[in-house]
Amino acid sequence: MEAKKEIHWYAFYVRMHHEKKTAEKLQMLKIVHFLPIQEVIRQWSDRKKKIKQVVIPMLIFIRTDEKGRMELLQNLPSLTGCLIDPATRRPAIIRNEEMEKFKFMLDFSDETIRFQSEPLVPGEKVEVIKGSLKGLQGELVELEDHSQVMIRIEHLGYATVEIPVGYVKKL
């Protein structure tokens, strides 16, 4: 009896500075993947420059089944392993809803997304009602006098973005 092919999002570790090259290789192989990248403005002493920066260094998300996951680890030298769920000691599965919220946050945020892996005390559940992130739901946290909306991605932590308090409503 053949096992049913269950396709999930997995978080793969990538060799340092190989994230973009790995994404290009996966694109060529027509493998569904997601490399979170955002444009940021870097300030040097003499100039400013817009650059595309990887949001979570040394990590790429790939949608595949268990067999495909194993084949990728064996055949792509830049992939060094998978994020492990500490409870099951198996490769962590990233839920579709979490990936969709994270992609939405990256696509529509005017502010820089930062990732925090340390657990935060859950705050108010909120929905963004104004601006480019309208409709996004998450938790509101106060960090260093700034309001931030947080999206929790199980096993990874929280993606946060700064949003004016007037842009969110309590759920």
SS3 126: strand
CB atoms within 10 A of CB 124: 12
Q: Which residues, 6 or more positions from 34, have their beta carbon under 8 angstroms from its beta carbon?
A: 9, 60, 61, 62, 63, 99, 103
Q: How far apart are CA 156 and CA 3, in angstroms?
A: 28
Question: Which has more pLDDT, 4 or 32?
Answer: 32
Q: What pLDDT does residue 144 have?
A: 58
Q: What pLDDT does residue 22 have?
A: 97
Q: Which residues, 6 or more positions from 122, have their beta carbon under 8 angstroms from its beta carbon?
A: 139
Averaged confidence pLDDT in the chain: 84
pLDDT of residue 60 exceeding 70: yes
Q: What pLDDT does residue 127 have?
A: 79
Bridge-based pairing state of the strands 8-14 and 79-82? antiparallel
Q: What pLDDT does residue 145 have?
A: 58
Q: Which residues, 6 or more positions from 154, have their beta carbon under 8 angstroms from its beta carbon?
A: 92, 94, 95, 98
Q: What pTM value is reported for the model?
A: 0.72
- For the chain, the residue count is 171
Q: How far apart are CA 150 and CA 162, in angstroms?
A: 9
Single-letter amino acid code for the residue at 140 = L
Q: What pLDDT does residue 121 have?
A: 47
Convert the pLDDT of each residue in 15-45 to its tens digit.
999 999 999 999 999 999 999 998 888 888 8
Residues 117, 128, 156, CA angle at the centre, nearest 5°? 15
Which helix (H) or strand (E) segment holds residue 75: the answer is: helix 66-75
pLDDT of residue 68 exceeding 90: yes
